Amino acid sequence: MSTLSEAYEDLPLDLQHIKPVDFASLQAVPDSHVWHDSSFGACSDEHENSLVPVIDLEDSNATELIGQACETLGVFQLKNHGIPLSLIEEVESEAARFFALSARQKLKALRSPGGATGYGIARITPFFSKYMWHEGFTIMGSPVDHVKQLWPHDNERFCDVMEDYQKKMKVLAERLTRLIFKSLNISDEEISWLSSTSNDSGSTSSVSAALQLNSYPPCPEPNQTMGLAPHTDTFLLTILHQTQTNGLQIFKDGVGWLPVPPVEGALVVNMGDLFHILTNARFTNVLHRVVVSGTQQRLSTAYFYGPPIDFILSPFSKVLNSAQAPHYRSVAVKEYVAIKAQNLEKALSFIRA
């Protein structure tokens, strides 16, 4: 069985699209990172009530509420999710420890051109003429091969925390995926791949999963930069922890950009392209971006979750009514990953039926 890491080996990037700048050394925004004002668009007041629903996973109506959120916005905030606050705080602390290293030190863990894991800038970078005010560290399974370059004798805590977090995230992602399929009246028999990847250890060996640590350093001219450019996520869903610094925004047709403010104790869950395909465009693969702060570093931790890389997906027959044809052809996860990596926002057009 292929792995997600192997899928990216065939999609190498140039070093200029991997290596971050030394943000700590910059007193002003270099031209390479200056975005035109038209790139930003209007956003509603950060202090207004967010339109993004906050759903309690223990609510008796959670399945219905999650289904509604997936259709209307493609995103919701989740409370009582079962991930210990202490573990979330440990992940945040270890991420902060990593990003606090000097630029020279972090480059020892730089992602290789054909690699999927390690330190670097966003994989969507080549699709934009300007660079983003962002640095990240991607993990799939154990990060030991990279972090031992940083901490030869002090990497056990970082590795243990990140591996534990991935295991617990996988359990939560599977639970959410089942609830979402239940909201569509999809039976367990129709999602046999999900059952085959479940085990007590929470191993991530079968599913397509990745953990992304993100840092958006304070910026001397935040109105001229973009933390993360507008995009949709590739896989089924993304589970995001964000620190108490605003920055994440989603786009809603007819409304524009909306803030997704941090809610204490909640995780942000957003739909990706694969759920959009499986539901024949019924679920919104939400367009989102990140803007930066002039005074505060913003950290976030994103867990991406999808079916095994060799799984072939197509719209479920149960979501098609008698008068509706499939919008998308069958496609293997690995094939779609490759299409998205080379076409970004146009990827879905390549698999239209």
What is residue 305's three-state secondary structure? strand
Six token digits for residue 171: 């359990």
The active-site residue out of 123, 282, 289, 298 is 298
Dihedral, CA of residue 143, residue 145, residue 147 and residue 149, to nearest 10: -170
Token match 């089942």: residue?
178
Token match 């998308």: residue?
328
**Phi then psi dihedrals of residue 124, to 5 deg:** -80, -5
d(CA 315, CA 30): 45
The answer to whether residues 325 and 353 touch, using CB atoms and an 8 Å cutoff, is: yes
- Decide the pairing of beta strands 256-259 and 228-231: unpaired
Residue 299's DSSP bridge partners are 215
Residue 104 annotated among the catalytic residues of the structure: no
The answer to whether residues 269 and 288 touch, using CB atoms and an 8 Å cutoff, is: no
The answer to whether residues 278 and 77 touch, using CB atoms and an 8 Å cutoff, is: no
Looking at the chain, the number of H-run helices and the number of E-run strands are: 9, 14
Six token digits for residue 6: 């192997």
User: Which positions are catalytic?
Assistant: 298
